Chains A and B, each alone.
Chain A
Amino acid sequence: MAAVSTPLSKPAHADTSYAAVTSAEAGHETYAERLRLNRMGMWLFFISEAFLFGALLATRFYLWGADSRPELDQNIGLIVTTVLLLSSISMYTAEVAARHGQWKVFSIGAWITMIFGAIFFFGVVIFEWGLFPQLYKGHLTPWENHYGAVVFAMTGMHALHVVSGIVLIFIMWRLQRKGRFTAERTWGIEAAAIYWHYVDVVWIFFYPALYLIGHVAGH
């Protein structure tokens, strides 16, 4: 544990023994305990995020009902879902490799994950949002009706997390290149990995909600 700052009531110059005791007490917090707290904090963050994604999911069922959905390209839905599933596998491989000190495998896994994440993101942006009509003409707009609004809200919020996950994995890859991790201490990589898997879990629910549940409206 790094040195702990002395409380305001006890100036460092006045009572070095107090500071020493404080540091010693803080020193009882082993790496394992800190790791446990880090993990707990991460999972609390996931729970808080679950409310956000849960609200979006509830919005979908409230506005569309359980028996209707917009006409979305089923092939695109299945492809981007498969890509995200593959990215979870590569991220799992990267994390396991890091825990065994196989840094080359970690790098390859991290980069494959980032590439798959980018493919997923551009798949949504190009094919669902239709932001590049010269490549693919999308048929939904967020302002058109409640179908477009919900699709854009759900995929938009999820895509934002995909992008932040890619950034996080890239940062961990850079830190690893600088030698910040050892096989015994890989918390940053673990955090990035479980964040990425969380993004995957969200899509596991979003995919059927957007693409599969209910009949196409107007058909």
Chain B
Amino acid sequence: MGYYRTGIIVAIVLAVLTAFEFWLAHVNPGVTFLMLIAAAKAILVIWFFMHVKRLWSAEEEH
């Protein structure tokens, strides 16, 4: 289960951010904050799920 812990934590944060943007859109549907939240979610996915760090990290196998 330890292998998947990071993914689970990131997923929970993404879910919270999605719920927050859904709520925010009904309070203030302005572009700035909603796009900032989207950018934060995208960074999380790119960093943790897409492993962008592997581009410059030395790795022998995988």
Contact = CB atoms under 8 A, between A and B. Distances in A.
A139 interface: no
A212 B28 CA distance: 9
Contacts of B60: 30-32
Given A66-B31, A190-B62, A204-B41, A43 B55 contact: yes
Contacts of B31: 61, 66, 213-214
A40 interface: yes
B16 to A, nearest CB: 11
Query: Main secondary structure on chain A at its contact with chain B?
Result: helix
Contacts of A197: 45-46, 49-50
Contacts of B62: 35, 99, 184-187, 190
Given A32-B59, A184-B61, A204-B42, A82 B25 contact: no
- Give the interface size class of chain A: 35 or more
Interface of A: 30-32, 35-36, 39-40, 43, 61, 66, 74, 78, 81-82, 85, 88-89, 91-93, 96-97, 99-100, 184-187, 190, 193-194, 197-198, 200-201, 204-205, 207-208, 211-215
Interface of B: 3-4, 7-8, 11, 14-15, 18, 21-22, 24-25, 29-31, 34-35, 37-38, 41-42, 45-46, 49-52, 54-55, 58-62
